[in-house]
Amino acid sequence: MSLIDFWFKDKNGQIVVAQTPNAPLILALVAVLLRLVTTGTAHRLCGFLFFGALFTWAWLEIVDGANPHRRAMGSLTLIGLLWWAVSGTL
């Protein structure tokens, strides 16, 4: 088994780099788009919605990702989200 096989192939032997977005990722994208066009309380709520949806997506990738590449993407996203939350810019 090569490094490419290990990193990108799923349990069925298919190469998986990207997948159709699932509900948490779609919700995160909608929230970030709404955040661009809102102000005040709605802007802040869209930020929290984005954080929660992307956190959920990242967690699902970590625990049930198709391959190590997907699990690593979830891990890096979760680390980035936590950094964002701790930095106070949420």
Residue 30's CB is within 10 A of a number of other CB atoms, namely 14
Range of the domain at 69: 22-87
Instruction: Write down the pTM of the prediction.
Output: 0.88
Assigned domain for 36 exists: yes
Assigned domain for 13 exists: no
Assigned domain for 82 exists: yes
pLDDT at residue number 19:
84
CB 46 within 8 A of CB 34: yes
What is the total count of domains within the chain? 1
Output the CA–CA distances (angstroms, integers) from residue 59 to 5, 42, 52, in the order listed.
Answer: 23, 25, 10
Residue 12's CB is within 10 A of a number of other CB atoms, namely 7
Assigned domain for 68 exists: yes
Q: Express each pLDDT in 22-68 by its tens digit.
A: 999 999 999 999 999 999 999 999 999 999 999 999 999 999 999 99
At residue 90 the predicted structure's pLDDT band, cuts being 50, 70 and 90, is low
CB 60 within 8 A of CB 22: yes
